[in-house]
């Protein structure tokens, strides 16, 4: 890593640490209790340049490599201590890339800048009730009627689903089943016929998650992204960035668990001495650090490789996609281990709402499932490596 990149990473990480530590972490429990966080947080994150990180300057963003974004992602998780906040605050990072890459120039200029300014919220809608990870089997349809598409169907588990102003929706424009007939359509959040049902969850309590219902929703044909039938390829390419982001978040949450567990072990006394003085507890902390260090090294390597492949025009290279899948599994398993060990070290306090480890313990499973469940990641990795 060159000195300029290292310096930029440090500046960005420090900025994020202050923002997350001062403006997110102290409020997370209250936001969880309320089931949402203030919409003004988007504007604050935009003011600091965080919403625009990785987007073209022409739309108000700041271009950034994977290696530059990585410490920001990790710091947001480690010091913000809430997957729910990060999931909704940055839902545009899965909703906007297909727009930036495939929309018309006019549509990009209409949609992207207000989102990066924190004025509008963007979301992605792929998953359907009963469909899960089988993207090629989706049933939501979009039928062309004059200069509009008419959309019918349902999407579920949609992050920012209750208050998104723009929703990038996977629809079936072709006949039959399979990947070939899938397209991507941008749907305005205020479109007549679109209704939303809030979902209750195990974790991510302050993130609004919804089922979306499309009942003859008319969408201008100019809101089609790319061409009909290209949606499946867009979805698969979009997963790469999402999965790296999930891995980085999992690393940060693992560090947050270790931070809390170590502080507790130093302060809490049992049998006349601090917990950290007991070998059994000390070894748990070391085991956590061991897994964190290995995950950190892997994600740094995958990010650097991604940057090199982007520069060479090979951003979807099969060997790299395989590494992302394996990394995502590794990072979320590290998070699972660290959350479990931290709760064990905290004992009864680890079972209490308001501790970091209790919250992260409840958020582990959505990280292991979201963006592709472990089993899907293993299968995709095997195929990308040419084993099948």
Q: What average pLDDT does range 6-20 have in this prediction?
A: 95
**The pLDDT of residue 222:** 97
pLDDT digits 0-9 by tens, 91-122: 999 999 999 999 999 999 999 999 999 999 99
Confidence at 23, pLDDT banded by 50, 70, 90: very high
* Confidence at residue 293, expressed as pLDDT on a 0 to 100 scale: 98
**Model confidence pLDDT, tens digit, residues 63-99:** 999 999 999 999 999 999 999 999 999 999 999 999 9
Residue 61's pLDDT is 97
Predicted confidence band of residue 185 (pLDDT cuts 50, 70, 90): very high
Query: What DSSP string runs through 24-53?
Result: IGGGHHHHHHHTS--THHHHHHHHTT-TTB
pLDDT at 314 over 80: yes
Dist CA 336 CA 264 (whole Å): 19
pLDDT at 342: 98
* Residue 100: closest CA among 302, 207, 217, 241: 241
CA distances from 363 to 87, 124, 202 (A): 11, 20, 7
Provide mean pLDDT across the span 144-171: 97
Around Cβ 195, how many Cβ atoms within 10 Å?
12
268-302 confidence digits (pLDDT tens): 998 889 999 999 999 999 999 999 999 999 999 99
- Write the burial class of residue 105 (CB in 10 Å: 0-12 exposed, 13-18 middle, 19+ buried): exposed
The confidence score (pLDDT) of residue 134 equals 76
């Amino acid at each position: 890593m060159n000195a300029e990149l290292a310096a930029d990473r440090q500046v960005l990480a420090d900025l994020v640490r202050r923002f997350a530590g001062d403006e997110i972490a102290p409020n997370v429990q209250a936001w969880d209790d309320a089931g949402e966080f203030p919409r003004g947080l988007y504007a604050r994150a935009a003011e600091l340049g965080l919403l625009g990180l990785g987007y073209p300057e022409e739309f108000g963003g700041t271009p950034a490599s994977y290696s530059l974004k990585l410490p920001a992602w990790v710091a947001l998780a480690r010091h913000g201590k809430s997957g729910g906040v990060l999931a909704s605050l940055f839902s545009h990072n899965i909703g906007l890339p297909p727009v930036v890459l495939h929309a018309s120039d006019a549509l990009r200029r209409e949609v992207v800048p207000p989102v990066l300014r924190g004025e509008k919220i963007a979301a992605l809608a792929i998953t359907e009730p009963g469909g899960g990870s089988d993207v090629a089997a989706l049933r939501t349809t979009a039928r062309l009627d004059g200069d509009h598409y008419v959309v019918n169907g349902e999407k579920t588990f949609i992050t920012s689903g209750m208050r998104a102003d723009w929703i990038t929706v996977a629809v079936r424009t072709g006949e039959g089943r399979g990947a070939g007939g899938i397209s991507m359509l941008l749907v305005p959040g205020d479109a007549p016929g679109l209704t939303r049902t809030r979902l209750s969850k195990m974790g991510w309590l302050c993130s609004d998650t919804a089922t979306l219902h499309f009942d003859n929703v008319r969408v201008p044909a100019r809101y089609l992204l790319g061409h009909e039938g290209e949606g499946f390829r867009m979805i698969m390419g979009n997963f790469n960035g999402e999965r790296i982001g999930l891995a980085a978040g999992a690393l940060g949450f693992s560090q947050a668990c270790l931070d809390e567990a170590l502080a507790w072990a130093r302060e809490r006394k049992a049998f006349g001495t601090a917990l950290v003085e007991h070998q059994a507890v000390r070894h748990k902390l070391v085991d956590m650090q061991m897994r964190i260090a290995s995950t950190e090294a892997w994600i740094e390597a995958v990010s650097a490789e991604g940057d090199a492949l982007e520069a060479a025009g090979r951003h979807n290279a099969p060997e790299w996609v395989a590494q992302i899948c394996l990394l995502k599994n590794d990072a979320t398993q590290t998070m699972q281990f660290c959350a479990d060990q931290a709760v064990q070290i905290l004992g009864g306090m680890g079972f209490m709402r308001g501790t970091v480890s209790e919250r992260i313990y409840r958020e582990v499973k959505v990280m292991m499932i979201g963006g592709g469940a472990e089993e899907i990641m293993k299968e995709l990795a095997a195929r990308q490596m040419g084993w099948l």
